[in-house]
Structure 1
Amino acid sequence: MKYINKIRNSVLNFIQAENLTSPGDRILLSVSGGQDSVCMLDIIYNLRKKLNIDIAIGHINHQLRGEESERDEEFVRTLSKRYDIPVHIETIDVASYAKKNRKNIEEAGRIIRYQYLKKIAQANKLNKVATAHTAQDRIEWLFLALMRGSGAGGLSGMRPKTDFNGITVIKPLLSLFRDDTYHYLKEAGLEFRVDKSNYDLSIDRNYIREMIIPLLKKRFSPTVFENILRSIELIGEDDDYLNARADTFLSTNSEKSPFGFIFRVEHLSDLKKTILTRVIRLACKRLGTIYPPSMDNVLRAVSLFKENISGKSSPLTEDVFCEVSENMARIGREIDTIEFQYTVDSIPASVDIPELNKVIQFETLEKFELDKRDFQFLINTSNINLPLRLRNVRAGDRMNPMGMEGSKKISDILIDMKIPLWDRKRVVIIEDKAGIVGLFPYRLSERARLRIGEKGILVREVK
Structure 2
Amino acid sequence: MLKKILKKIKDEKLIQEGDKIVLGFSGGPDSVFLLEALNYAKKEINFEFVLAHVNHLLRGENSDTDEKFSIECSERLNIPIFVKRASIEEIAKENNIGLEEAGRFIRYEFFKDILKKISGNKIAIAHNLDDQIETFLFRLIRGSSLEGLEGIPNRENIIRPINEVYKNNILKFLDENKIKYRIDETNFENDFTRNSIRLDLIPWIEKRYNNNFKDKIFNLISEIKEVNKILEIDLKKYEDFKDNRWSLNIDLIELEENYIQRKIINEYLKKYNLEGSREKIGNIIKLLNTNGSKVIKLEKGFILKKQYKNIWIEKEKKDKLEKVNKLVTEKIPFKIIFNSYVVEAIEDNKSFGKNEFLTNLKIGDTIEIRMRKDGDKIRPLGMESYKKLKDVFINEKIPKDLRGEIPLILKDDEIVWASGVKKSESFKGEENKKGIKLIIRRQDEE
- Output the TM-score relative to the length of structure 2: 0.86
**Partner of 2:285 in structure 1?**
302
| 1:28 aligned onto 2:22 | yes
The structure 1 residue matched to 2:392, chosen from 413, 416, 441, is 413
Read off the aligned partner of 2:304 and give its amino acid letter: C
Contact 2:143/2:277 (8 A) holds in 1: no
Residue 318 to residue 195, structure 1, CA distance change in 2 (3 Å): closer
User: Mean alpha-carbon deviation: is it higher for 14-23 or for 319-328?
Assistant: 319-328
User: How many angstroms apart in 1 are the aligned matches of 2:31 and 2:282?
Assistant: 37
**Partner of 1:77 in structure 2?**
71
User: How many angstroms apart in 2 are the aligned matches of 1:136 and 1:227?
Assistant: 12
Read off the aligned partner of 1:255 and give its amino acid letter: F
Contact 1:401/1:446 (8 A) holds in 2: yes
Shift of 1:381: 2.8
| 1:429 aligned onto 2:408 | yes
Residue 332 to residue 343, structure 1, CA distance change in 2 (3 Å): farther
**Partner of 1:312 in structure 2?**
294
Residue 384 to residue 427, structure 1, CA distance change in 2 (3 Å): farther
Shift of 1:413: 2.8
User: How many angstroms apart in 2 are the aligned matches of 1:326 and 1:385?
Assistant: 41
The structure 1 residue matched to 2:48, chosen from 21, 44, 54, is 54
Contact 1:297/1:315 (8 A) holds in 2: no
Contact 2:115/2:123 (8 A) holds in 1: yes
User: How many angstroms apart in 2 are the aligned matches of 1:55 and 1:333?
Assistant: 32
**Partner of 1:3 in structure 2?**
none
Shift of 1:375: 6.2
Q: How does 1:105-184 map to 2 (within 5 A)?
A: 105-159=99-153, 161-163=154-156, 168-184=157-173
Query: 1:233-291 deviations in whole A, cap 9, x for unaligned?
Result: 2212322344433x2323xx422544x434443233333333333433444555xx453
User: How many angstroms apart in 1 are the aligned matches of 2:382 and 2:362?
Assistant: 16
**Partner of 2:264 in structure 1?**
279
The percentage of aligned residue pairs carrying the same residue is 26
**Partner of 2:303 in structure 1?**
321
Shift of 1:203: 2.3
Secondary structure at 1:248 match in 2: helix
Contact 1:28/1:128 (8 A) holds in 2: yes
| 1:238 aligned onto 2:227 | yes
Read off the aligned partner of 2:84 and give its amino acid letter: E
Shift of 1:194: 1.2
Contact 2:148/2:277 (8 A) holds in 1: no
Read off the aligned partner of 1:296 and give its amino acid letter: E
The structure 2 residue matched to 1:267, chosen from 239, 242, 252, is 252
Matched pairs, number: 438
Shift of 1:94: 0.2
**Partner of 2:371 in structure 1?**
392
Shift of 1:134: 0.8
Read off the aligned partner of 2:236 and give its amino acid letter: T
Contact 2:304/2:311 (8 A) holds in 1: yes
Residue 325 to residue 177, structure 1, CA distance change in 2 (3 Å): closer
Residue 118 to residue 330, structure 1, CA distance change in 2 (3 Å): closer
The structure 1 residue matched to 2:81, chosen from 84, 87, 103, is 87
User: How many angstroms apart in 1 are the aligned matches of 2:158 and 2:186?
Assistant: 25
Contact 1:384/1:432 (8 A) holds in 2: no
The structure 2 residue matched to 1:249, chosen from 228, 234, 237, is 237
**Partner of 2:8 in structure 1?**
14
| 1:192 aligned onto 2:215 | no
Shift of 1:214: 3.0
Secondary structure at 1:436 match in 2: strand
Read off the aligned partner of 1:279 and give its amino acid letter: I
The structure 1 residue matched to 2:59, chosen from 55, 65, 77, is 65
Query: 1:175-234 deviations in whole A, cap 9, x for unaligned?
Result: 211111111111211111111111112422122222333344445666543332222122
Secondary structure at 1:158 match in 2: coil
Read off the aligned partner of 2:265 and give its amino acid letter: I
Read off the aligned partner of 1:274 and give its amino acid letter: Y
User: Mean alpha-carbon deviation: is it higher for 442-451 or for 377-386?
Assistant: 377-386
Read off the aligned partner of 2:240 and give its amino acid letter: S
User: How many angstroms apart in 2 are the aligned matches of 1:144 and 1:169?
Assistant: 21
The structure 2 residue matched to 1:214, chosen from 203, 209, 231, is 203
- Output the TM-score relative to the length of structure 1: 0.83
Residue 396 to residue 330, structure 1, CA distance change in 2 (3 Å): farther
User: How many angstroms apart in 1 are the aligned matches of 2:343 and 2:226?
Assistant: 47
The structure 1 residue matched to 2:421, chosen from 442, 451, 455, is 442
Contact 1:378/1:456 (8 A) holds in 2: no
User: How many angstroms apart in 1 are the aligned matches of 2:249 and 2:273?
Assistant: 26
Shift of 1:67: 0.9
Read off the aligned partner of 2:218 and give its amino acid letter: L
Contact 2:407/2:418 (8 A) holds in 1: yes
